[in-house]
């Protein structure tokens, strides 16, 4: 996703800011984007857009947007409950993004897998509309027992293939800056516990 000579600097969530997750202009300001060069966000998407689970900037000034999921039913999000004026702008933005990612599809993105589609739309807005180097990462957790989520990355991959097939998307969107990463919660917790135990021994 990023080059071997790049490092990742997190902009949110951070302990220093109370682990706040940002949306709208605040999200992009957190990454240092104070103004979009070609089209402002409010001309593309109405207020109260996606809340980003993670935001980062690489050492080469590539912007990284993160959407995290712990169980598959989360992707079955309903359409937006925005007012009619906002819905009109959202529909137009999603149709524009659909034409970019899946020009042969006739699916109405506003009606299906809305959360997945609106994240794709924002990646399109940053990277294609405004020509800023951007990556969108769907961070899929597995072995999250308390969430009754997938036990393997293959389960997530199967769900993603189904979503892409339904929406008319190619199997991979990596050439458009869209990536999936898989995190084993059990392994992550084991690493955290080991670090905590080591800290206790040191103290």
27-63 pLDDT, tens digit per residue, is: 999 999 999 999 999 999 999 899 999 999 999 999 9
Number of neighbours of residue 108 by Cβ within 10 angstroms: 14
Check whether 203 has a pLDDT greater than 70.
no
pLDDT computed for residue 192 by the predictor: 60
Residue 26 has pLDDT above 70, yes or no: yes
Give the pLDDT of residue 6.
84
Q: What does the alpha-carbon distance between residue 165 and residue 183 come to, in Å, rounded to a whole number?
A: 24
User: Which pLDDT belongs to residue 70?
Assistant: 86
Average pLDDT over residues 77-98: 88
CA–CA separation, 27 vs 63, rounded Å? 11
Q: Are 71 and 149 in contact, with CB atoms under 8 Å apart?
A: yes
Average predicted confidence (pLDDT) for the chain:
89
pLDDT of residue 189: 74
CB 59 within 8 A of CB 7: yes
- What does the pLDDT average to over 129-145? 93
């Amino acid at each position: 996703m990023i080059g071997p000579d790049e490092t990742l600097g997190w902009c949110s969530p951070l302990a220093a800011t109370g682990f706040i997750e940002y949306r709208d202009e605040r999200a992009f300001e957190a990454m240092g984007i104070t103004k979009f060069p070609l089209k402002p966000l409010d001309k593309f998407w109405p207020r109260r857009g996606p809340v980003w689970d993670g935001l980062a900037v690489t050492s080469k000034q590539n912007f990284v947007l993160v959407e995290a999921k712990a169980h598959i039913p989360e992707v079955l999000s309903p359409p937006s409950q925005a007012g009619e004026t906002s819905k009109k702008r959202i529909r137009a933005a999603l149709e524009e993004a659909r034409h970019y990612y899946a020009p042969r599809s006739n699916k109405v993105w506003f009606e299906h897998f809305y959360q997945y589609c609106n994240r794709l739309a924002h990646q399109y807005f940053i990277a294609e509309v405004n020509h800023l180097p951007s990556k969108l990462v769907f961070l899929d957790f597995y072995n999250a027992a308390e969430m009754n989520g997938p036990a393997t990355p293959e389960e997530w991959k199967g769900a993603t293939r189904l979503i892409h097939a339904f929406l008319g998307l190619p199997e991979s969107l990596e050439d458009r800056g869209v990536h999936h990463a898989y995190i084993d919660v059990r392994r992550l917790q084991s690493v955290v516990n080991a670090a905590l135990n080591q800290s206790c021994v040191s103290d």
